[in-house]
């Protein structure tokens, strides 16, 4: 049985996507060695599931639909730049979530609990931090200081709102040009 890499995510609005594209262009001026996320791949991950079988996808879909129906739709405000593990040692560059983040965290926690019950244990190494990944640093160079300065400069930059109305299940396939995401299921919020 062939396995498929999967994750759960919420989509971003067209407005947030456009602003993220502009921000990526602005941050890339630092010329740091970053692998930027392609515009069509921008999303907010709730749960990474790894390799799953076709039967797993059916079970994941059922649980996603069940959990999503228990949560009301909500607006999620995106604001400011940051980095994991932090701005002084940036590895993953992101835009954060502000108002509405509590609802997304609650949704993610419920998904995590239900998915654990069917064999997908949570990543206990880190607490969920809602964010929109913009890029990942490939290696440090002298250009990193310029990038850090731009992250600090844009730490409070308004990025727009997303109306969260569903949880999407995506399959991820890597090829030479990068990851390709395919929507394979969804759970509408109640």
CA distance 15 to 175: 28
**Within a 13 Å sphere around the CA of 106, how many CA atoms are in the beta-carbon half?**
12
| Catalytic residue of the set 43, 71, 129, 163 | 43
C-alpha distances out from residue 162 to 25, 122, 135, 178, Å:
21, 26, 20, 25
Selected catalytic residue, list 71, 131, 142, 163: 131
DSSP assignment of 142-190: TTHHHHHHHHHHTTT-EEEEEEE-EEEEEEEEEETTEEEEEEEEEEE--
Does 71 qualify as catalytic in the annotation?
no
Known catalytic residue at 43: yes
Beta strands in the chain (DSSP E): 4-10, 33-36, 44-52, 74-86, 89-97, 131-139, 158-164, 166-175, 178-188
Active site residues: 43, 131
């Amino acid at each position: 049985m062939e396995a498929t890499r999967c994750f759960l995510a919420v989509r971003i609005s067209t407005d947030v996507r456009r602003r993220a594209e502009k921000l990526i262009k602005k941050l890339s001026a630092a010329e740091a060695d970053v692998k930027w996320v392609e515009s069509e791949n921008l999303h907010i991950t709730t749960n990474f599931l790894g390799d799953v079988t076709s039967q797993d996808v059916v079970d994941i879909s059922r649980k996603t639909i069940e959990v999503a129906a228990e949560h009301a739709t909500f607006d999620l405000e995106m604001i400011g730049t940051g980095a994991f593990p932090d701005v002084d040692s940036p590895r993953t560059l992101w835009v954060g979530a502000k108002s509405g983040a509590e609802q997304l965290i609650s949704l993610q926690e419920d998904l995590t609990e239900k998915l654990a019950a069917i064999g997908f244990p949570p990543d206990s190494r880190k607490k969920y931090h809602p964010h929109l990944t913009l890029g990942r640093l490939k290696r440090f160079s002298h250009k990193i200081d310029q990038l850090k300065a731009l992250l600090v400069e844009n730490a409070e930059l308004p990025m727009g709102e997303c109306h969260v109305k569903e949880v999407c299940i995506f399959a991820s396939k890597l090829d030479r040009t990068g990851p390709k995401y395919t929507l394979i299921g969804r759970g509408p919020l109640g």
